Amino acid sequence: MKTMENRRLALLYTMLALPAFIWLVPTLWMVSLSLQPNALLARTTSNTFWGLIPYPLTLDNYLNLLAHGQVHVWFFNSLVVALGMTIGVLVLSTTAGYAFARLNFVGKKTLLVLVLLGLMIPEQAVFIPLYTLFSELGWHNSHHGLIIPRLAVPIGVFIMIQFFRGVTRDVEEAARIDGANTFQIFWHVMLPLARPAMMTVAILTFLYAWNDYLWPLVSAQRTEHFTITLGLASLQSNFAQSEGLGSVMASGVIASLPVVALFLIFQRYVVRAVAVGGSKG
């Protein structure tokens, strides 16, 4: 019986080898190309084993990116925008989520419905009016101009409401009997409990911020204000002027490093965040 089971598993993995290979090759190729000399790539991209093995190997592409070009500026912009957005969303979604889940106030139900309806408004439906609004405010070409629009999306609030509703009231009551006020309860009792949910919100927001393309494309017009995602797009559209295929691929690898690292370290949270984010807007 055991060997039967093993044989079935072996058969399964053999069948999965081909799709796994297909899914792996494109990424592998990008990394491999980024490690080959530009001069070689100008001649051929299939040097060793269709270019999948980086031989001759060089780190010049990466060193060049660090030495000049704007990739490090874009990387820094992305980092500031993604971290700023993450912190902002965390603050707004925990406070509002707590209020909706646990506090009483007039018109709570109506307001909750109004907020959840916002989940139905896609970014593409508001980016034009946001553009005119931010023009009037003079907020284009800035970090906060890229951060603020996402702070208004209620997905984080939605996740936090779900979480806070699940916390038993006993903890809160106990703290209240000990004389803690609402703010102390929120800060000292609820937030420490909410760490897993906050992690989900944070990762969801960071991934979104890092990978967002449409709004930065509209809002950041000067290259020194590009995010890495946007900068990479600009490199693609003028391949000819760029320093070479290897360098472009190296930028692609650098642009992916933070999100891939995040994914590999916090896989469980990332998977949940992406699933929640995908299913609720």
> Which of positions 102-141 make contact with other proteins (CB under 8 A)?
103-106, 111, 115, 118-133, 135
Residue with tokens 């990762």: 203
Contact predicate 208/124, CB 8 Å? no
For residues 28 and 52, is the Cβ–Cβ distance under 8 A?
Answer: yes
Tell me the closest approach of the beta carbon of residue 247 to other proteins, in angstroms: 12
| 176: its two tokens | 């209240």
Near other proteins in 193-232, by CB under 8 A: 207, 210-211, 213-214, 217-218, 229-230, 232
Tell me, what amino acid is at 217?
L
One of 65, 85, 99, 159 touching other proteins (CB under 8 A): 99
Cα distances (angstroms) measured from residue 85 to each of 31, 156, 161, 167: 29, 12, 19, 26
Cα–Cα distance for residue pair 86/84, rounded to 1 Å: 5
Task: Note the Cα 190 to chain centre separation in Å.
Answer: 26
- The three-class DSSP label of residue 259 is helix
| Candidate list 7, 50, 56, 166; residue touching other proteins; CB under 8 A | 50
Q: Give the interface segment with other proteins, choosing from 63-71, 168-176, 194-202, 244-252 (CB under 8 A).
A: 244-252
User: Quick one: 64 or 274, whose CB is closer to other proteins?
Assistant: 274
**Region 55-94 residues binding other proteins, contact defined as CB under 8 A:** 91-93
Q: Which of these ranges, 27-35, 60-68, 162-170, 172-180, lies near other proteins under the rule CB under 8 A? A: 27-35
The DSSP call for residue 107 is T
Q: Does 38 bind other proteins (CB under 8 A)?
A: no
The footprint of other proteins on this chain (CB under 8 A) covers a number of residues equal to 93
